[in-house]
A and B are shown apart, each in its own frame.
Chain A
């Protein structure tokens, strides 16, 4: 991909779209945790509540029909964004965590038998590990770990070795929130399907940063959160192939997910409503659709070029600072905006606190991925202060080269400030 640099005017225009970035004098580089929101998205939420709000689906009156239309239009926007065949394959949830809980509970009830195996990658966020671990326990199944190389690569040969006649599901992230490296889920999907294994992909970090097309990747399930892609907190998505979602039992029971209810039982609504019990988050869905329009307006080609240029610059500058070790690949092109690192002799929480004092927001700790950090800690020769904890900077396209400089300057102060040289 050609190197694309935003012009100064484009930079300014994008920055102007994000009120928080103008209201606070900070360098926000915790985008893998949540992104800031453009004014269009904030306004779309407001517009819904000022003009269209009613309980969708239930009312016969026009306003409720309007609310339903806003919600279903948002669903279609999501389906188009990820290349789903039908809007029926898009289930709205609160976030990726809820999507995975829904999926693991319902899918495992449908297919899992005692002695079956679920393969989970070692790099999973706790959200894409614990639900499968617990489901496996409920059905007497086994969790098998798919381990990566020290540079963060997941090799298909390893996956092929792990699959047995009892493997039912592979749960893997498209892009680890620690390693920042794209996993070849298209190849993994081919291997899985050849072996009659279903593949579920956590897209929480990939969908906001690279084009993701579920048909092209041929994954069976995909989950992501709105709040990590410019939309508000409280709206998320589960994509699933229609025939699978149709066969799976409901997850939550209640209003709007039924067809008829009697004293003895019920029949359930068609997809996707079967999985959307209770009153839904229409304002959040409308804002997610607006976030998608914002992504489409700028375009992934520019977004990726920008984030990759920032990442490359950051890794180069970090390499000039004494005592910094980057986790995962040493190759900047293998980090999609996510750089996790150690500062020799300084605990990551102290690193993040000193950077905060310089106005730079970064994440420290185990990034909700303790099995991965423990694994990386065990295979690394050099042990660092702070045990398995690390510090992470994560970029979005609205970050600027000047902010990368400010981040690197803050980082350079840490060891001297802590009395180390």
Chain B
């Protein structure tokens, strides 16, 4: 028997009742992220000014992992500087590969609910979709 499912309450709750899934009014950064394996498709929207993420949201469709992960990510990066967001992103991506320390994972707060995905290689792309899209946006910002 495979290990128990990683669909914990944090994850299903963010999937069913996302805090940040809506169209942002007047975003100045918008980027689409696609994961062809699940057909996940999100559009990340940011209000980014003077190096700070002042507001953020996402819209789109996909599996519970991609949707919950993007929603949790936005809670984490709201009000953060580019460097702080990139720092969290770095921890998240390493956590998914099973390479982050417990102290680092603590910084991710609810994002830690996704750490067991490291045992499910087929779903890693779903979990990192939001973060990968954010990195691409900030790189050019």
Contacts and interface: CB of A to CB of B under 8 A. Distances in A.
Contacts of A418: 7, 12, 15-16, 64
Interface string B4-45: 111101001101100000000000000000000111000000
B39 A357 contact: no
B38 A357 contact: no
B50 interface: no
Interface in A24-43: 25
Interface string A391-421: 0000000000000000000000000011110
Interface string A349-365: 11001101111000001
Interface stretch (A14-22, A185-193, A208-216, A381-389): A381-389
A208 B42 CA distance: 40
Nearest to A356: B2
Given A349-B123, A389-B39, A357 B3 contact: yes
A349 B63 contact: yes
8 closest A-B pairs by beta carbon, nearest first, are: A357-B5, A347-B63, A419-B12, A349-B63, A349-B38, A350-B64, A359-B1, A419-B16
Interface in B118-141: 120, 122-123, 126
Given A386-B39, A387-B39, A350 B2 contact: no
Given A350-B7, A353-B123, A357-B6, 15 more contacts: A25-B1, A346-B64, A347-B64, A349-B38, A356-B2, A357-B3, A358-B2, A365-B38, A366-B39, A386-B38, A386-B39, A418-B15, A418-B16, A418-B64, A420-B16
Interface string B96-123: 0000000000000000000000001011
Contacts of A419: 9, 12-13, 15-16
B65 interface: yes
Contacts of B37: 349, 365
Interface of B: 1-7, 9, 12-13, 15-16, 37-39, 61-65, 120, 122-123, 126
A419 B7 CA distance: 10
A419 B12 CA distance: 6
A346 B5 CA distance: 15
A358 B3 CA distance: 8
Contacts of B64: 346-347, 350, 418
Contacts of A420: 16
A420 B7 CA distance: 13
Given A356-B2, A357-B2, A387-B61, A349 B7 contact: no
B5 A354 contact: yes
A87 to B, nearest CB: 42
Contact of B120 (A353, A386, A388): A353
Listed residue (B13, B39, B120, B126) with the most chain A CB atoms within 10 angstroms of its CB: B39
Nearest to A418: B12
Contacts of B122: 353
